[in-house]
A = this chain, B = another copy of it.
Amino acid sequence: MSNKEPIFDVAQLAHVEIYSPKVDETLWFFKDLLSLSETERDGDSVYLRAYEDFYHHSLKVTYRETPGLGHVSWRASSPQALERRVAALEASGLGKGWIDGDKGHGRAYQFTTPDGHPQEILWDVDYYEAPEALKTPLMNRPQKRPTHGVPVRRLDHVNLMCSNVTPNKTFFMEELGFRLREHIVLDGGMEAGAWLSVSPLVHEVAVMGDRTGNKGRLHHIAYWYGYPQHLSDIADILTEQGIQIEAGPGKHGVSQAMFMYVFEPGGNRVELFGDAGYLIFDPDWKPITWTQETLDKGIIWFGSPLPGEYFLYGTPDVSDVAETLVEEEAVPA
């Protein structure tokens, strides 16, 4: 522990925007199967939230010809914290400036990761207000539990593919106050992945090496179930409904997450997170380092392995390159 005190200025992952070339099918996936509800539409965009998300939306789906990441939105811990982070971001050279806001929130400061993933940070948010028919006597739940689909409970995290892990990890730590929780350090010292958080969750953001060498791609967004049975339930339904399950259910060593990866019809990878994982309350946490020697158990503790494409496919897709790489490289690492 250095003498420097930790930064507590970022509170949470507020929402994510993804691009989809097939908005209707993407909505069917999120609304009919994962039970998100639609809050609003605006132009090419649709705003969605899970039934235990408290704000106007946690997901914005916007039409584009190719899938990928629109932006990631972080909520600051206070108005003052927002100002401090904006000052730091401006000084970093990666700030882009303020926007007036969007559906569901007020002004926000835009910036990018070193790799170019669009981000924003904000304070003012609109809270979801359930209509009368959806109000529930469970007063800490913003609306009744949906009676269709296998409802995810809340947005959990985002995983960003990076041409180079280390500077992106450092950026989240230094400019935004994220703590490094776990990382993979290969022989020779190259970081292949890093998991970072501002809360006891192991990660609200992961940065993962893009073996194709591309920049700024999305690996996946993750919604949270909390209960392992719900992973089996949705796996059963997804299989019958023709949705492609890439891997899982299984358990990662890293983050101890019960995972399942699927592709929404627009082409983006979505993780469904099936338990509580473990939580980090230690304020002086020493990051867990997985090495080439220990990595196998870190990737899969038990259950379904990850296919080679897991390490190559992101959105937007660059599969010509990927196909070449699959043959050349051993996977993992």
A98 located at the interface, meaning its Cβ lies under 8 Å from any Cβ of chain B in the complex: no
**Please, which residue of chain B has its CB at the minimum distance from the CB of A151?**
B233
A41 located at the interface, meaning its Cβ lies under 8 Å from any Cβ of chain B in the complex: no
Chain B proximity mask over A297-328: 1 for CB below 8 Å, otherwise 0: 11001111100000000000000000000000
Q: How far is the CA of A300 from the CA of B220 in the complex (A)?
A: 25
A175 located at the interface, meaning its Cβ lies under 8 Å from any Cβ of chain B in the complex: no
The answer to whether residues A235 and B139 also contact, given A6-B77, A147-B241 and a CB cut-off of 8 A, is no
A282 located at the interface, meaning its Cβ lies under 8 Å from any Cβ of chain B in the complex: yes
This chain: copies in complex: 4
- Contact between A139 and B288 (Cβ–Cβ < 8 Å)? yes
Range, interface on chain A: 35 or more
A137 located at the interface, meaning its Cβ lies under 8 Å from any Cβ of chain B in the complex: yes
Q: How far is the CA of A227 from the CA of B148 in the complex (A)?
A: 18
What's the minimum C-beta distance from A73 to chain B, rounded to whole angstroms? 13
The answer to whether residues A301 and B236 also contact, given A78-B283, A148-B149 and a CB cut-off of 8 A, is yes
- Contact between A303 and B256 (Cβ–Cβ < 8 Å)? no
- Specify which of B11, B137, B229 is in contact with A281 (CB 8 Å cutoff): B11
Q: List B contacts of A216 (CB < 8 A).
A: none
**Please, which residue of chain B has its CB at the minimum distance from the CB of A54?**
B282
- Contact between B275 and A276 (Cβ–Cβ < 8 Å)? yes
What's the minimum C-beta distance from A248 to chain B, rounded to whole angstroms? 7
Q: How far is the CA of A230 from the CA of B232 in the complex (A)?
A: 12
Interface CB pairs A-B, < 8 A, 24: A6-B77, A11-B281, A12-B281, A13-B281, A75-B281, A76-B283, A137-B294, A137-B297, A139-B294, A140-B253, A144-B241, A145-B236, A147-B237, A148-B148, A153-B278, A199-B199, A200-B201, A227-B275, A232-B302, A235-B302, A249-B303, A250-B303, A250-B304, A304-B305
